[in-house]
Amino acid sequence: MRRLYKIMQNCFDIAVVANGRCRAIILRLRGAKIARKVSIGSGCRVDRPWCLRVGSRSLTENDVYIKIVKDDAVINIGEHVFIGRGTEFDIIEKLVVGEHTIIAPNCFITDHKHGMEPGLRIDQQPCRAKPVVLGSDVWIGTGVVILPGVAIGEGAVVGAGAVVTKDVPPFGVVAGVPARLMRLRDGKA
């Protein structure tokens, strides 16, 4: 019975990977630059796919929303990147995600904010954008919010639920609202 279960599980796993790769091919046909062996989970949505580049062996879990607001925006996702379920990218200008980066479920990353100038209604305010850069070998914990203009250095870790409003140094470990440097991964702080 266990052997039959393992065979069925392997067949299911193969089907999940095949379906994910088929979704990547569909995105490629819609204009995205998707490398080989990329898997896109079910329920993922990509607005303006021609603005998206994804490196090989990257994996996007189910229900990820890549909201690209303008036709000239750019999202570059490196090789071997993992994007967790329910994550949302809301991009007007630019987002770069380095290689071997892990983005846990339910994160929100945006490169813009609305203005709040007096004399104009909120719905009339222009958006102000600043690119967001996540370095290579970065770990973004569950439920993290990353705001415009933030650069997260190579090897950094962002604790679950953090709101990142400022740059994170390479190998920095940050947590909290707003996120603050707790230590460096080399053990110094």
Active site residues: 114
Burial annotation 47-74 (CB, 10 A radius, 16+ → b, else e): ebbebbebbebbbbbebbebbbbeeebe
Are the beta carbons of 101 and 79 closer than 8 angstroms? no
Are the beta carbons of 34 and 57 closer than 8 angstroms? no
Beta-strand runs (E) in 45-105? 45-46, 52-54, 59-60, 65-68, 74-77, 82-83, 88-91, 94-97, 102-103
d(CA 64, CA 21): 15
3-state secondary structure of 52: strand
